[in-house]
Structure 1
Amino acid sequence: MYQTVLEPRVSETDGVGHINNTVLPVWFEAARNPLFSLFTPDHDFTKWKMVIVKTTLEFISQIYFGEDVEIRTWVSKIGNSSLELYEELHQHGKLCARNTAVYVNYDLSAQKSEPIPKKIREELHKHLIEDKAKVQR
């Protein structure tokens, strides 16, 4: 599992006093930086590999300014050229949101997917979750 702690900003708070729902996809993406580094270590966008093809976000509880949030990211599936991530956002030890995201390892110059390299696949397996229900709290 990858863990990322973020500090909510006052500008992310909406008129009813909680973190706006448009912020969470950005936070989840920020927590994926270690994965982006696996696929494109130099972060050169001309060689970028991870292309998102699907995301599903579920809001469970309100999130507030003034208290850090923790995002936990697991790999839930590894295909030939794609991977699925399972992510949770916690504040005050409480599950506030969960998300799944599907990425494809993509060659931008050839405009096609390509197999995930063995070395990256081995690293992804270290973060593989077998049963999402076991971690959901």
Structure 2
Amino acid sequence: MYETVITPRVSETDMVGHINNTTLPVWFEAARNPIFSLFTPDHDAQKWKMVIVKTTLEFTKQIYFGTDVTIRIWVNHIGNSSLELVEELYQNEELCAKNKVVYVNFDLATQKSERIPDGIRNELRAHLHNENK
């Protein structure tokens, strides 16, 4: 499991007093940085490999300014060129949102997907969701 703590900012709070729904995709993406580093260690945009093809976000509780959130990410499935992640967001130890996201390992120059290298596969397997081990 990958884990990231994020401190909500005032600017992410909407007019009804909770974190705006448009903020969570940005937070989930920020928590994926360790995974992005596996595919593109120097984060060079010209060599970027991870292309998102699907995301499904579900809110289970409201999230508020003033208390950190914890995002936990597991690898749910590793395909030939794709991977699915399961993500959960907690505030005060309560599940507030969950997400599934699918990425493809993609070569920008050729505009084609590529097989996920074995070294990256091995690292990802260490973070498999318990149901898939």
Q: Normalising by the residue count of structure 2, what TM-score does the alignment of the two structures yield?
A: 0.98
Asked whether 1:116 is paired with 2:116, we answer yes
Counterpart position of 1:58: 58
Whichever residue aligns with residue 129 of structure 1, its letter is H
CA distance in 2, matches of 1:17, 1:90: 18
Report the number of matched residues. Answer: 132
The residue that corresponds to 2:102 in the other structure is 102
- Please list, as runs of the form range in 1=range in 2, the aligned pairs for 1:1-137 lying within 5 A after superposition: 1-131=1-131
SS in 2 for 1:131: helix
Structure-2 separation of matches of 1:3 and 1:65:
20
2:37 is paired with a residue whose SS is helix
Residue 17 of structure 2 aligns with an amino acid whose one-letter code is: G
Q: Deviations over 1:44-79 (max 9, x none)?
A: 010000000000000000000000000000000000
Question: SS where residue 46 of structure 1 aligns?
Answer: helix
Give me the TM-score of the superposition, normalised by structure 1: 0.95
Tell me how far 1:130 sits from its aligned partner: 3.6
Give the AA of the match of 1:25. Answer: P
- The Cα of 1:83 is off from its aligned counterpart by 0.0
Q: Which runs of no fewer than 5 residues in structure 2 stay unpaired?
A: none
Return the alpha-carbon distance in structure 2 between the equivalents of residues 28 and 113 of structure 1.
23
**Counterpart AA for 2:27:** W
Unmatched tracts of structure 1, length 5 or more:
133-137
1:93 Cα offset (Å):
0.2
Q: CA deviation at 1:131?
A: 2.1
Could you tell me how far apart the structure 2 residues matched to 1:81 and 1:108 are?
14
| Aligned-partner SS, 1:20 | coil
Matched residue, 1:135: none
CA RMSD of aligned residues (A): 0.9
Paired letter, 2:63: I
